[in-house]
Amino acid sequence: MADTMQNYVELQGINKHFGSFQASDNISFTIEKGKLVALLGPSGSGKTTILRMIAGLETPDSGNIVIDGQVVNEIPASRRGIGFVFQNYALFRYMTVYDNIAMGLKVKKIPKAQIKERVDSLLELVSLKGMENRYPNQLSGGQRQRVAFARALAPNPQLLLLDEPFAAIDAKVRQELRSWLKEMIGKLGITSIFVTHDQDEAIEVADEIILTNQGHIEQIGTPEEIYRNPQTAFTASFFGQNAELPDYHDFRSFAELDHVDRVLIRPEFVKVYKQDEKIQYERTASEGIVESVSFRGDRTELRIRVNDAVLAAKRNPGEPAIRAGEAVKVFLYRIFVTRGNEVIPLENLALQTDMVVF
């Protein structure tokens, strides 16, 4: 299987300094042709720098950038066959939608009739037909971003780079645009890399995630792999809506570890029961008090105190209601323990043996 897959982009040991600051620290990864990959990480972790080096807008200090089997280090941005969608759209304010999309084609001195044909088909593709004579300020944020997308696609690039493409758009439209972009890129089959600091966005949109932190790569994998099996302490704390447990000994029944830095628990691994609810692992549950209850439509979110720990948990609409102030039973399926840069997942022993241990 592996040798039939074609790598379209490869970074080999890329380093980049700004003065004494190392923005890229030995960055290596490969991206298969046609994949949609997220460069994910906190602000300042070096994502944009990587994207700009691939585009040719920034030069690495060392290492190679390979696109379609060719080292492109010395090839200028304009000849790398790359489309770029910037964070702030960067549409030309005094140009119509049509002229914005046509811009890159006019620069290439392509005949007018051919430009018109291409722009018309792109307008159709991004569902903006009839809006070609509008100016950017006469469009919604989502529409502007679709123009930026069409403009980047106009010269028919083989690689599309998008830097925080949804950042400036309000939540509801952002949600729609994410699905739209994923579908569009899938349909076009164009290899794409998008930068985001939003874990949910990366999980939802990307085929694969490259997680960056302080200029280096923490982990690479599918959203599922990286979410389920974090390989570093950073990855474990970056993904999921973790609560931190001051002392996991408040909870039965987990293996004893002699040295522990942090204990992380995700809401999906917390099960909450009312006092009179039947529970399988009764004797391994802890006593908690519900601090708050927030109705979220499709679910209810609870905050529960167990000694010094405050946990987040979810409750489905079908389950009996739990109220603030109520005493409840709390069972943890799984926790993540970090030790230095290492992360150790601990399964509740009651589950492993399928019997009550204590």
Ligand X SMILES: Nc1ncnc2c1ncn2[C@@H]1O[C@H](COP(=O)(O)OP(=O)(O)O)[C@@H](O)[C@H]1O
Residues at the contact surface with Mg ion, assessed by CB under 5 A: 48
Smallest distance from the beta carbon of 227 to ligand X, in angstroms? 20
What's the CA gap between 31 and 117, in Å, rounded?
A: 32
213 binds ligand X (CB under 6 A): no
| Partner that binds at residue 316, options Mg ion, ligand X, none, CB closer than 5 to 8 Å by kind | none
At 55, which helix (H) or strand (E)?
helix 47-55
> Candidates 47-55, 87-95, 229-237, 325-333 — which segment interacts with ligand X by CB under 6 A?
47-55
243 binds ligand X (CB under 6 A): no
295 binds ligand X (CB under 6 A): no
235 binds ligand X (CB under 6 A): no
Compare residues 18 and 295 and give the one whose CB is closer to ligand X.
Answer: 18
Which one of residues 46, 136, 157, 165 is an interface residue with ligand X (CB under 6 A)?
Answer: 46
Angle between the N-to-C axes of helices 141-153 and 171-188, in degrees from 0 to 180, rounded to the nearest 10: 20
At 30, which helix (H) or strand (E)?
strand 21-32
Compare residues 39 and 97 and give the one whose CB is closer to Mg ion.
Answer: 39
What's the CA gap between 121 and 303, in Å, rounded?
A: 51
Compare residues 40 and 245 and give the one whose CB is closer to Mg ion.
Answer: 40
48 binds ligand X (CB under 6 A): yes
Compare residues 15 and 96 and give the one whose CB is closer to ligand X.
Answer: 15
Smallest distance from the beta carbon of 195 to Mg ion, in angstroms? 6
Compare residues 48 and 143 and give the one whose CB is closer to ligand X.
Answer: 48
47 binds ligand X (CB under 6 A): yes
Compare residues 16 and 144 and give the one whose CB is closer to ligand X.
Answer: 16
The label of the residue with tokens 């917390």 reads 270
Cα–Cα distances in Å, from 142 out to 137, 146, 177, 198? Answer: 12, 6, 7, 18
Q: Is the Cβ–Cβ distance between 126 and 147 less than 8 Å? A: yes
> Candidates 46-54, 107-115, 236-244, 289-297 — which segment interacts with ligand X by CB under 6 A?
46-54
Identify the sign of the CA torsion 291, 339, 26, 66: negative
42-60 residues labelled b (16+ CB within 10 A) or e (exposed): eeebbbbbbbbbbbbbbeb
Closest C-alpha to 153, from 95, 100, 114: 100
